[in-house]
């Protein structure tokens, strides 16, 4: 795939912000959505912004998406601009790319060169998943990056995923990953931001804080409210056992309440087989780019996962005015003050929470819609990054 015709290094200007991400749409993952809104929102606030995304070869596109989606950067950028509009984002800022390769083993896009190469000077550089973006061994240290401040947004619990992988020596590997990522964040950033208490950053021994810099796409606030006839229960996420799908199956079996699963993943067939084996009322619907279109059928989101740093699907459901049944864990603490969030500690508690959600109407989601407004989130990010 040829280099971008929108290359930033020829402009000679100083940016206010550069936003660099480990993933971009159409890969529908947290960093893709978060970085898109940060870039668009900062531009909408009047800042000069560059948004740099990974550029994938045809082979990597086939591994990730099952087919070649984009012949070059121009095609990807045009699609992304249209998709941002469909999602209710402000207009895209200037775009650029860096070469990456999708690794099925790591389930990640690996940079093939330093992601800051050729970056023009900027007042603040926002690295979405800074430890991941620094995987390339030639990535320069902080003092060689032409930015007034480098802010890393930490949002993925990589050691958890490594430890849960089931490989021989996985727990030891997780410890190595954690220590390596600590060093990378210290080496390449001035400030680390965590999007939830699940990713405590005290171990960095450098400036760090937790901040509300995330939001929810505006279409979720337009979903019609729950009525007495709205009885559906759903799960939305990657279909891997690590997301707590065994609990979803058991809750559906014991409650006899059907649960619809939206998403895809390597364990989808095994999950469907397990549900059939125990006679649990589970249906798989695959991924969907616009969940707000089918949300009117559902009353509650059942999300037993403990692996996220902050689950965006939980915020989406609460903004849409749905009940959410979720474990009481650090990742979910930002949600526990909202009346439609029903935490549990064990399977019996989850059954009680599900029963409550099915028996009472959700409260009006006014407060969370304000708290998870994207422009408020981007204003917070700009204030922190430039202070």
Output the pLDDT for position 207. 56
Question: How many C-alpha atoms does 134 have within 13 Å on its Cβ side?
Answer: 24
Q: ∠ CA 222-228-230 to the nearest 5 degrees?
A: 55
Helix (H) or strand (E) holding 342: strand 341-344
Residue-averaged pLDDT of the chain: 90
pLDDT (tens digit, 9 = 90+) per residue, 222-248? Answer: 999 999 999 999 999 989 898 999 999
Residues with Cβ within 8 Å of residue 57, at least 6 apart in sequence: 1, 99, 101
8-215+374-386 CATH:
3.40.50.2000
What is the structure's pLDDT at 197? 63
pLDDT of residue 381: 96
13 pLDDT band, cuts 50/70/90, is confident
Looking at the chain, which residues constitute the CATH 3.40.50.2000 domain(s)? 8-215+374-386, 218-370
| 149-198 residue pLDDT tens | 999 998 877 766 676 666 788 788 777 777 888 889 889 999 988 887 65
Both tokens of 64, joined, read 């990730």
The DSSP bridge pattern shows strands 147-154 and 122-128 to be: parallel
Q: How far from chain centre, in Å, is Cα 298?
A: 22
Residue scoring higher pLDDT (69 or 13): 69
What would the CATH number be for the domain defined by 218-370? Answer: 3.40.50.2000
Share of the chain above pLDDT 90, in %: 73
Lowest mean pLDDT among 99-113, 205-219, 302-316: 205-219
pTM for this predicted structure: 0.82
């Amino acid at each position: 795939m040829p280099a971008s015709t929108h290359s930033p290094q020829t402009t000679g200007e100083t940016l206010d912000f550069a936003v660099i991400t480990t993933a971009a749409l159409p890969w529908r993952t947290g960093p893709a959505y978060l970085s898109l809104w940060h870039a668009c929102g900062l531009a909408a606030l009047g800042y000069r912004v560059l948004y740099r995304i990974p550029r994938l070869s045809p082979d990597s596109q086939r591994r990730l998406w099952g087919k070649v989606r984009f012949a070059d950067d121009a095609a990807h950028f045009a699609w992304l601009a249209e998709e941002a509009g469909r999602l209710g984002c402000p207009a895209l800022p200037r775009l650029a790319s860096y070469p990456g390769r999708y690794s099925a083993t790591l389930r990640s896009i690996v940079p093939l060169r330093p992601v800051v190469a050729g970056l023009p000077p900027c007042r603040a550089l926002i690295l979405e998943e800074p430890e991941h973006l620094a995987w390339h061994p030639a990535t320069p240290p902080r003092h060689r990056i032409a930015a007034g401040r480098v802010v890393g947004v930490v949002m993925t619990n990589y050691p958890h995923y490594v430890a849960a992988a089931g490989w021989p020596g996985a727990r030891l590997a997780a410890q190595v990953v954690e220590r390596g990522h600590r060093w990378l964040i210290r080496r390449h950033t001035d400030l680390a931001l965590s999007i939830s208490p699940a990713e405590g950053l005290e171990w960095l021994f450098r400036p760090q804080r937790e901040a509300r810099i995330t939001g929810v796409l505006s279409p979720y606030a337009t979903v019609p409210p729950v009525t007495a006839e709205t009885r559906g229960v759903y799960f939305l996420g990657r279909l891997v056992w690590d997301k707590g799908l065994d609990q979803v199956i058991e809750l559906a079996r014991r409650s006899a309440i059907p649960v619809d699963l939206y998403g895809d993943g390597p364990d989808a067939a095994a999950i469907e087989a397990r549900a059939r084996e125990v006679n649990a009322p589970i249906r798989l619907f695959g991924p969907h780019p616009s969940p707000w279109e089918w949300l009117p059928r559902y009353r509650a989101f059942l999300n037993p996962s403990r692996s996220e740093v902050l689950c965006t699907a939980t915020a989406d459901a609460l903004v849409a005015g749905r009940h959410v049944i979720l474990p009481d864990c650090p990742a979910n603490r930002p949600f526990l003050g909202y009346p439609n969030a029903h935490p549990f500690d064990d399977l019996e508690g989850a059954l009680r929470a599900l029963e409550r959600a099915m028996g009472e109407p959700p409260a009006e989601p006014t407060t969370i819609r304000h708290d998870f407004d994207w422009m408020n989130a981007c204003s917070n990010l700009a204030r922190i990054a430039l202070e």
